[in-house]
Amino acid sequence: MSFWIFLAIIAALIFYVINIYNRLVNERNRVKNGFAQIDVQLTRRYDLIPNLVESVKGYMTHERETLEAVIKARNTAVVNLDAAKLDPSNAAAIQQLGESEGILGNVLGRLFALSENYPDLKANENMLHFQEELASTENKVAFARQAFNDAVMGYNNTAENFPNNIIAGMFNFQLASFLEIEAEEKREAPEVAFS
């Protein structure tokens, strides 16, 4: 009789470990799926940028440094996106992508600010189209990033809760990192002047 009880306890423990392992795999796959949505939108954004630069080149001949900075930032972001695609639960790769996206956003902001100095460029249909497409893509990236970050939170919670953390450690489930894309100006404290 005690042998059967012992066997039932062992079977229940094995079933419990398998259940936790499968939940961890499912949560990690949700992270990968969430990142796939970000990948689609960022790739679309990266494909728009060279066309945008080409359309403004003729107008902004004196702004070559800014145009080169946009292309350089875009290329760096593409490389970091490719690295993050290999393993979206790799915290370092996601942080690198977030940093490069922040830099790209800043240089694009500079480009659009400079375009204000060129009335013909501001009225150009191609420029208006690219601005609209990039703005639309930025919104889609924000929604995809939120879904990804929600998946990361679910995965990390599952991996860190006890006793799941023991199983996660045994099978080398690493914690994922949130994708945070911040513009430099958002990090700076605003200046307040009282007269």
The structural domains of the chain, ordered by start, are: 2-182 (1.20.1440.20)
**CA Rg value for the chain:** 23
Q: What is the pLDDT of residue 187?
A: 42
CA distance 99 to 164: 31
Per-residue pLDDT of the chain in tens (195 residues, 90 and over written 9): 788 999 999 999 999 999 999 999 999 999 999 999 999 999 999 998 998 888 887 777 677 788 889 999 999 999 999 999 998 988 899 999 999 999 999 998 888 888 887 777 767 777 788 888 888 998 999 999 999 999 999 999 999 999 999 999 999 999 999 998 875 444 444 444 444
CA distance 21 to 27: 10
Q: What type of residue is 125?
A: E
Length of the chain: 195
C-beta of residue 43 within 8 angstroms of C-beta of residue 79: no
C-beta of residue 121 within 8 angstroms of C-beta of residue 63: no
Q: Is 186 left (phi over 0), alpha (psi -120 to 50) or beta?
A: alpha
Q: What is the pLDDT of residue 97?
A: 94
Residues 6 or more apart from 73 whose CB is under 8 A from it? Answer: 100, 103, 104, 106, 107, 108
The CA-atom distances, in angstroms, between 110 and each of 39, 69, 105, 106, 114 are 24, 10, 9, 6, 6
